[in-house]
């Protein structure tokens, strides 16, 4: 404990003794509990949404070739899909950094499976390209190509969707996109608890804190680990792949973030 707890540190939270900190923490806890209860209420409202029937026989392509969409349930009654964006013909480093961010955070679905829920990643890429990407990334989730399949199974990339099965019938019960897909990403919640947050310019930060950058600035990096969206950058997790080096092009233009 410093001799003078009133001393301030530039660009840092105000310094206080433990009792003062606890009082401020208890005050914030009231708001946090209200937020949690509102989240529970929203979840209850989701469970009361109507559902729409979809074609469970629609053909998707996976490692065993064409299969009906209903097979993604793997015999369970509920299914969650993440619809991964795809850039045809782009090299691995040119695939979607936002979708990489989401999918990397859930390597398998054992806890969902224990609750009777299956998980699948679907994308509109040609299966041969998708399979090579999945192998390169080391993904263990089930992946499928939904190229040519109508919405809401296909043609809705960047969405997180929930489906229900009743015998041979399949229904869409919920879908979200944009920041709604953050539920896939545990890192966001942890960053939101830190004093510097996500480091993004849109955040409401106290004066003197590090200036935020553009949204998702840290999702790609160069070979030395510096955040970069240049042509030799990669989605951050790709640098953990064996023998990965910088490349000369992303094989596409711009980024969706």
What are 41-95's pLDDT values in tens digits?
999 999 999 999 999 999 999 999 999 999 999 999 999 999 999 999 999 999 9
CB contact set of 239 (below 8 Å; sequence gap of 6+):
221, 223, 225
In a domain, 59, yes or no: yes
Any domain includes 36: no
Q: To the nearest whole percent, how much of the chain has pLDDT over 70?
A: 95
Under 8 Å between Cβ of 104 and 97: no
The answer to whether residue 172 is domain-embedded is yes
Give the rounded distance of the alpha carbon of 62 from its chain centre. Answer: 22
24: in domain: no
| 111 in any annotated domain | yes
Domain of 141 in residue numbering reads as 52-182
Average pLDDT along the chain: 93
CATH number where 76 lies: 3.40.30.10
Q: Are 201 and 211 in contact (CB under 8 A)?
A: yes
Position 193 confidence tier, pLDDT thresholds 50, 70, 90: very high
Residues 213-225 as b or e (16 or more Cβ within 10 Å = b) = eeebbbbbbeeee
Q: How many domains does the chain have?
A: 1
Q: Evaluate whether residue 142 is within a structural domain.
A: yes
Considering the domain boundaries, does residue 206 fall inside one? Answer: no
* Whether the predicted model's global pTM rises above the 0.75 cut: yes
């Amino acid at each position: 404990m410093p001799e003078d707890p009133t001393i301030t540190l530039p660009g840092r939270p105000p310094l206080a003794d433990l009792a003062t900190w606890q009082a401020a923490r208890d005050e914030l806890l009231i708001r946090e509990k209200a937020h949690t209860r509102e989240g529970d209420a929203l979840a209850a409202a989701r469970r009361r949404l109507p559902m729409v029937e979809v074609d469970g026989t629609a053909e998707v392509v996976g490692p065993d070739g064409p299969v009906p969409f209903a097979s993604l349930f793997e015999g369970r009654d509920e299914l969650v899909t993440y619809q991964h964006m795809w850039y045809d013909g782009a090299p691995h480093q040119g695939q979607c950094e936002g979708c990489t961010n989401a999918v990397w955070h859930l390597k398998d679905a054992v806890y969902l499976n224990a609750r009777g829920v299956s998980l699948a990643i679907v994308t509109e890429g040609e299966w041969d390209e998708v399979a090579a990407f999945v192998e390169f990334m080391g993904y263990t989730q089930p992946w499928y190509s939904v190229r040519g399949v109508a919405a809401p199974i296909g043609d809705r990339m960047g969405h997180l969707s929930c489906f229900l099965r009743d015998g041979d019938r399949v229904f869409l019960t919920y879908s979200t996109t944009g920041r709604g897909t953050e539920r896939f990403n545990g890192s966001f919640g942890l960053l939101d608890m830190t004093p510097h947050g996500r480091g993004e310019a849109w955040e409401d930060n106290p004066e003197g804190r590090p200036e935020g950058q553009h949204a998702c600035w840290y999702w790609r990096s160069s070979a030395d680990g510096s955040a970069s969206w240049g042509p030799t950058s990669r989605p951050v997790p790709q640098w953990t792949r064996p023998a990965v080096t910088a490349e000369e092009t992303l094989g596409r233009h711009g980024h969706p973030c």
